[in-house]
Chain A
C-alpha cells in the first residue's frame, strides 16, 4: 500500500480548499448523503437548466480529505453535463475504483480523466472506498429527485 498514492497533492489540496463549497444560487435539486461508519455528511446542491444539464453544482459537508476532494473534483467535472452523461462518468469512476484502474468514459477529456484518476489510490484501501463514492451517489440521488438520504451502508 502506498500512502503517497492515496494522499496525492491534488487530493490534499482539494481536501483543504474544496471547490464549489456552499449552497449554489438558484439550485432546484438537492440531496443529502451520510456515512454512518464515520459520521461523514454531504449535502449536494444542483441547478439543472431547462435543457436538463448541470448549470450549477455545489456541496456542503464534513468529511475526510478523500471525501472532500472527491466531492470537490466531482463538482468541477460534471458542470454542463446531462443526467445520462453524469451517470456515465460516475459509473466510470466507480468502475475505476473497484475494477479497471482506468477511467472509461467518452464524456471526459484527458485532463479531466487525470484529475479523477488522482483518487485511484483509494483502490488499495477498501475501508476508504465509501469516502470517495458518497458524494457521487448523493449527486445521482439529487438528479433523480429522491427524497431519502443516501446512506453508504445501503448502497454498493
Chain B
C-alpha cells in the first residue's frame, strides 16, 4: 500500500472543517477510520447481523466465527501465544480495571505496593487508586527525568518484598516517550513481580510483540488503531486468566448455573459477560488488515519522518517549547507557546481546520511534575503528511499574530 496516498482512504479528509481542509493531529486521542473499516461495520449490520454465541442459526454461526477470527488476528498481530489470552472489553480503561480489580481481589492486602510511573494516563492510575482506597494498597510513582524518560534505576529501587505489580505505559500520550518495557519486565520478573502494560498509544504506532516483551498483561483500544469505538483488548498470560476470578458476571461467562453453585466458562468467555460489541469486534479485523497491508515497519518509518519534520519546524518558531525530549520519541508532540494558553491555541488552530488537543491529556501527575497546568498536543497518525505540519505551523503563526507575539 502506498503510504503517500493513504489519506484518500479516509473519507473524513474530503470534508471541510470551518471551511478549511481538515488537518487532523489528534490521533493520540482517537484515530480516523479508513473506508474499509467503515464499510465492514455497515456490511455486517446490513447483511450479516446476529448476536454471537449460543444460537444455532446460520447468521449466529457466521457472526461467532467472524468474532473469533478477530481474536485470532489480534493474537497474531501482537504475537500472543494463545487465542484464549485475548479478552475483548469495552476499552483499554476497562481492560486495566479488569486486571486491577481481579488481581487486587486475589493478591493485594493492606500495605502491599503497586508501582506505576509519573507518565501514566489516569486510566492506569485511578484503577490502582481504587485498591488504595478499598484494600489499603500503597502506590509508588517511578519518577521521570526532565526529558520525560522513566528513570529505570529509580524504578528498580522502588521494588520491595511488598511490591505486587508494576503498571506502566508503553508509550506516553504526552511526550511520546517509548518506555523500555522489556527492560522493566526483566527487572520485575527477577523479583517475581508481574507487569501490566498500557499499550494504547503503542499499538497504533510501533511494533508490539507481547511474547518478546514477556509482560503479564497488555491493554489497548481498537479505536486508536483505525478501528471502531467500543472495543478494548486485554492480553493476559493464560496462567493469570486461569487463576484470577471473573470480573463481570452474567450470560456467556458461565458454563453451569445451579441454585447453590455456579461454574464459570472457560477462557476467554470467562471474562466476556453479556452481549459484546459484536459488530465492532468483527470490524476491528479490518483495522488489523489495514495495519498489516501498510506494514508496521513502513508505518513507523513514515511517522518518524513526519515527526522529525514537525519537531524541526516547530523548534524554529519563536516562543514554542516542546515538552520532553525522550531518548525514543514517537509522533506525540506536546508543546506550549509562551504568552498563549493551550486552550486559546486549540481554538485558533481549529478555525484553520487544524485539530489538536489542549489540556492535561488525562496526565495531571505529569503536568504537575513539569510545573504545567496544560499543554497543546499535536499527535501524528499514518495519514499525516508534511503538508499537515506546514499547515500546523502556519496556524501557530496565526495564533502568534492574534496575540501580537514578537
Contacts and interface: CB of A to CB of B under 8 A. Distances in A.
Is the pairing of A and B real?
Answer: yes
Interface of A: 1, 3, 6-7, 12, 16, 37-41, 62-66, 125, 127-128, 131
Contacts of A128: 343, 347
A96 B13 CA distance: 36
A38 B360 contact: yes
A7 B402 contact: yes
Contact of A39 (B340, B348, B351, B364): B364
A40 B404 CA distance: 23
A41 B373 contact: yes
A16 B403 CA distance: 9
Interface in B381-401: none
A131 B404 contact: no
Contacts of B343: 38, 40, 64, 66, 128, 131
A12 B18 CA distance: 23
A131 to B, nearest CB: 7
Contact of B341 (A6, A41, A64, A125): A64
Which 3 A-B pairs have CB atoms at the shortest separation, nearest pair first? A64-B341, A39-B373, A64-B343
B373 A6 contact: no
B341 A65 contact: yes
Interface of B: 18, 339-344, 347-348, 351, 358-360, 364, 367, 373-374, 402-404
B342 A38 contact: yes
Contacts of B347: 3, 6, 125, 127-128
Tell me what chain B mostly uses at the interface: helix, strand, loop, or mixed.
mixed
A38 B373 CA distance: 7
B344 A64 contact: yes
* Residue among B343, B359, B374 with the highest chain A CB neighbour number at 10 A: B343
Contacts of A131: 343
B403 A12 contact: yes
B359 A39 contact: yes
Nearest to A61: B373
A23 B360 CA distance: 27
A39 B344 contact: no
A40 B344 CA distance: 12
Nearest to B340: A65
Contacts of B340: 65
Nearest to B404: A12
12 contacts: A1-B351, A7-B344, A12-B403, A39-B359, A39-B364, A39-B367, A40-B373, A62-B373, A63-B341, A64-B343, A66-B344, A128-B347
Specify which of A12, A39, A131 lies most central, judged by the most chain B CB atoms within 10 Å of its CB: A39
Contacts of B358: 38
B367 A65 contact: no
A17 B342 CA distance: 18
Most B CB contacts (10 A, CB to CB) among A3, A7, A131 go to A3
Nearest to A9: B404
Nearest to B364: A39
Contacts of A7: 344, 348, 402-403
Contact of A12 (B367, B374, B402): B402
A128 B341 CA distance: 13
Contact of B344 (A41, A62, A65): A65
Given A39-B374, A131-B343, 13 more contacts: A1-B18, A6-B347, A12-B403, A12-B404, A38-B343, A39-B367, A39-B373, A40-B343, A40-B373, A40-B374, A41-B373, A64-B341, A65-B341
A127 B347 CA distance: 9
